[in-house]
Structure 1
Amino acid sequence: SDRVGVHWANITCLESALKSSYLHALLCLVTASTGLTDEQKEFQKVAFDFAANEMAPHMAEWDQNEIFPVETMRKAAQLGFGGIYVRPEVGGSGLSRLDTSIIFEALSTGCTSTTAYISIHNMCAWMIDTFGSNELREKFCPDLCSMEKFASYCLTEPGSGSDAASLLTSAKLQGDHYVLNGSKAFISGGGDTDVYVVMCRTGGKGPKGISCVVVEKGTPGLSFGKKEKKVGWNSQPTRAVIFEDCAVPVTNRLGSEGQGFNIAMKGLNGGRINIASCSLGAAHASVLLARDHISVRKQFGETLSNSQFLQFKLAEMATRLVASRLLVRQAALALQEDRPDAVSLCSMAKLFATDECFSICNQALQMHGGYGYLKDYAVQQFVRDIRVHQILEGTNEVMRMIIARDLLTES
């Protein structure tokens, strides 16, 4: 489709690829494609195919050796996945938020950690495309959409996590530059990426004193902390990002001065849909892994699939997956349409899907018995990779606060 800039020519023998048992099972799982347009089903097939052939075979290696799979992500970008909802005139695919959710769910079945980073990268590219000047858009977006360059989102600080509006990283105006001082914590891609979308304080206390600037790797005064050792998400590096008299041109600001917190929150609304979609993919794959395991594992003279208890567990897992998927897709539509309930729905989707999908993955591990605790079995990696989704992009406790606040302020 020329409209979306997806290079279908790079997809060879798609129909034969769909015959693989792994991919066929993924596509047939309880209503994964139900309600989608023909075009959306094609996006989904391409993403499932990429996940099965380019990601899943390497998922364990990337995790074990903490490899940031740059070349694989660039292959994904050739399919249009580097700037999925960025405008086509600067290299993006121009797809909707629902299209994006469908793609991230499918990719996440191959490697949740890598897909989660791709989702953060997409969020940063969208923020530059939406709030940047034409000069900034033309400078950064094409290379981000092709993933020749990679981006990181810098909001969290050592002393301001959930209370993001209290951030302390300062940006003092000196002539035609801002001079940044401070640090950011838990930054995905930190040190390995090229472009940093940074929230910093240009004014007084509170959200209205925050602005957003783009900082390029190599800028004097920009440095990085040690690589963090994490439970999961090991295919993407995480470091502190440190600013010491780091001079950034005023022209690198996104939006107007004082608009940064609003920009950050708008980015996070989409980010919450993205990370919820990655959770769907992990749960999606884990249901299949559990189903396949109990179909072959024998105890007491018969396969575990003959146990009504495990049949019911599998049915509950599939039901919770479908319910999560429906809520995430509804929230994606609300965000795309800029509906008044979009913020609450994004929060609900992130809360519900990340909680439920972690429970699904954890139950899938339990159904594997002792085998599920071995790194030879993929289910344990999905459990480790998905756990952080209940924390990042706003903790699930904060999601409850947002939803409750919206309910209590309705007239």
Structure 2
Amino acid sequence: MRTRLAIKFDATLEKLFPERRVFLRSDTDTRFIRLRPVTQLIGFTGSAMLVAWAIVATAVLLMDSIGSGNFREQAKRDRVTYETRLNILADERDTRAHEALAAQDRFSKALEQISVMQSQLLESETRRRELETGIEVIQNTLRRTMHERDDARTQLTDLQIQQADSENGGALASASPETSETMNFLVTALGDTAVERDQIIADAQGALTRAEELTRELRLMQDQNEQIFRQLEDAMAVSVQPLDKMFRAAGMNTDSILSQVRQGYNGQGGPLMPLSFSTRGEDTHPDLDRANRLLNQMDQLNLYRIAAEGAPFATPVHRAYRFTSGFGYRRDPKTGGKRMHRGVDFAGPVGTPLHATADGVVVHAGWSSGYGRLVKIKHAFGIETRYAHMSKIIVKEGQKVSRGQRIGDMGASGRVTGPHLHYEVRVDGKAVNPMIFIKAARDVF
């Protein structure tokens, strides 16, 4: 059975691959190589497999090249989209900053208006009291004059009775000159008193009319004050609440922070001093209490603004970057083991500018083992920020820096796999997630 199959297989091979001879001729001899059907089959099969492998490898290379091109294009599109989003966020931040400055200007102008209107109110109150005092004096004078007039009339009546009695008694000749002189004096005094009374009544009426006008003006000014106070109270609530929420979202005690800032900025004087006017032992005016509450809120707003400059709410990279690693345990890119990552990583090109995220003092600027080129900045409230793997440092130890000030460039120094910034935030020596501060400030700055 095997012999027949072998014979048939050889016959089939003979038809497909007939035996061939390859002659090799030299100057002295001629040789040939006989190519059997099996040898030709093996050679053909090998050649076919080689061609197939070349086709498959070429196809794989082409597909990989096409896929890499698509990936690069997608990466470029993602980068453009991310840069556009960053620009939009930067524009929104600038817009919020301008709005905050405009609100501060409005607060200052409104405060000036309040001061002017308070002065006008005090002047109106003083004039009203003077008019009330004048009216009271006029009324007393009028009462006294009316009493004098009634006394004069009584004396005139008594004299008339005495004159009648004198005429009846026959003594008119001796008393007539003195009585006539007295009567003429009384008539003149009564006339003068009547004129003075009429003038006092007219003055009193004018004073009452002026008092009513001043009362209307006072009510109008009070309505205007009420409107201004409502607008200021609403504006202060809108301005202070987001800042308070921002600090609380970052896990910071606002009472302790404001107390620390107030101790460092405890000078007094100027427009934000509480208003105080002499009330002569009377209760304070409600508007004065509201104005002082607004001034306290503005003082609190200023304290929040100062505190925000000293806390790391800003982003250290202002150009396009890629967020490559977050805070917490992760797989070590060097050893492959699990390790605590005490900061966040922002990847970007070498030379990307890096900026301080808050006001502070540089306490370290140099090489530090696995950190590479490292900058440490000490801030208020026991906060410290670290900027590692830098390619260049442009600040020195002991130097004071402001939020947004450039401190160096991004690089790949130290223990890294590529250029990026390793950014840490430590509170009282303990590492915390920097994104808590950055995310808390997104709706404010």
Which TM-score band (shorter chain)? under 0.3
Higher RCO, Cα 8 Å, sep 6+? 1
Of Structure 1 and Structure 2, which has the larger fraction of its residues in helix?
2
Q: TM-score, normalization: structure 1? A: 0.20
Q: TM-score, normalization: structure 2? A: 0.19
Q: Which one has the largest radius of gyration?
A: 2
